[in-house]
């Protein structure tokens, strides 16, 4: 069974994440969206809210589940028997950053990282831009699933 972990902060889930997750579905039997918990990081949305956005957005998709984890992503993958890490690439700087992590993860654990290129329509979207818009009372409706705005 092909199981992938899609790790991230998802603060909040955006249409960029949504696009990558949907395009990963034909490739894997199961996609676990795993929210990494970092005690030193400040988040705009609580962990419960971030889980809720993802659960509601994918409520009709049985291949997708949502979990949280602490520590190294590869250790979490081993724990739940996932052989793949899924990541999205938007631009060359994503690639440079992700490349070093993916090679390190493979050396540490043998786990392969599968990269999907974002679609052109969502390549400019990032959670940090969404947070900026929301913080300043702007309209983020073209960037996030509807549930995030409710
Ligand atoms: P992290 O804190 O690990 O960067 P994010 O929640 O920001 O977590 O992102 C999780 C994953 O989603 C990363 O692989 C990131 O590259 C990808 N991603 C974020 N936004 C987009 C987008 N607009 N298009 C494609 N992939 C994206």
The sign of the dihedral angle between the CA atoms of 17, 21, 24, 26 is negative
Q: Return the ligand 1 atom nearest residue 8 CA.
A: 8
Q: How far is CA 135 from CA 44, 67, 128, 129, 139, in A?
A: 9, 26, 10, 10, 10
Tell me, what CATH number does 52's domain have?
A: 3.40.50.620
Average pLDDT per block of 10 residues along the chain, 150 residues long: 97 98 98 95 96 97 98 98 97 94 97 96 96 96 94
- For the chain, the domain total comes to 1
Domain hosting 128: range is 3-149
Q: Are strands 3-8 and 30-36 parallel, antiparallel or unpaired?
A: parallel
141-146 contacts, C-beta under 8 A, 24 or more apart? 142/15, 143/14, 143/15, 144/12, 144/13, 144/14, 144/15, 145/13, 145/14, 145/15, 145/18, 145/53, 145/57
pLDDT of residue 148: 95
Please tell me which residue in 3, 90, 106, 131 is annotated as part of the active site: 90
Ligand 1 binding pocket mutation candidate from 90, 93, 98, 132 (most atoms within 8 A of CB): 90
Residue 143: closest CA among 57, 20, 22, 133: 133
Mean confidence (pLDDT) of the chain:
96
**Ligand 1 pocket, CB under 6 A:** 8-10, 14, 16-17, 20, 87-88, 90, 94, 118, 122-123, 125-127
pLDDT of residue 144: 98
pLDDT of residue 103: 98
Q: Tell the burial category of 41 from Cβ atoms under 10 Å away from its Cβ (0-12, 13-18, 19+).
A: exposed
The C-alpha atoms of residue 33 and residue 64 are separated, in whole angstroms, by: 7
Please tell me which residue in 41, 93, 107, 135 is annotated as part of the active site: 41
- Is 65 catalytic? The answer is no
Q: How far is the CA of 89 from the centre of ligand 1 (A)?
A: 8
Length of the chain: 150
Kindly report, residue by residue over 82-120, the tens digit of the pLDDT: 999 999 999 999 999 999 999 999 999 999 999 999 999
């Amino acid at each position: 069974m092909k199981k992938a972990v899609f790790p991230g902060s998802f603060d909040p889930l955006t249409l960029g994440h949504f696009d990558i997750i949907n395009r990963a579905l034909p490739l894997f039997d199961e996609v676990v969206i795993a929210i990494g918990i970092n005690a030193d990081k400040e988040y705009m949305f609580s962990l419960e809210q971030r889980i809720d956005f993802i659960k509601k957005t994918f409520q009709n998709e049985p291949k997708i589940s949502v979990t949280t984890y602490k520590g190294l992503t590869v250790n979490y993958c081993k724990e739940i028997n996932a052989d793949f890490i899924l990541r999205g690439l938007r631009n060359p700087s994503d690639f440079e950053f992700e490349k070093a992590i993916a090679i390190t993860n493979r050396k540490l654990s043998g786990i392969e990282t599968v990269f999907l290129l974002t679609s052109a329509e969502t390549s400019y979207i990032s959670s940090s831009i969404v947070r900026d818009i929301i913080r300043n009372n702007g309209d983020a409706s073209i960037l996030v699933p509807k549930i995030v705005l409710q």
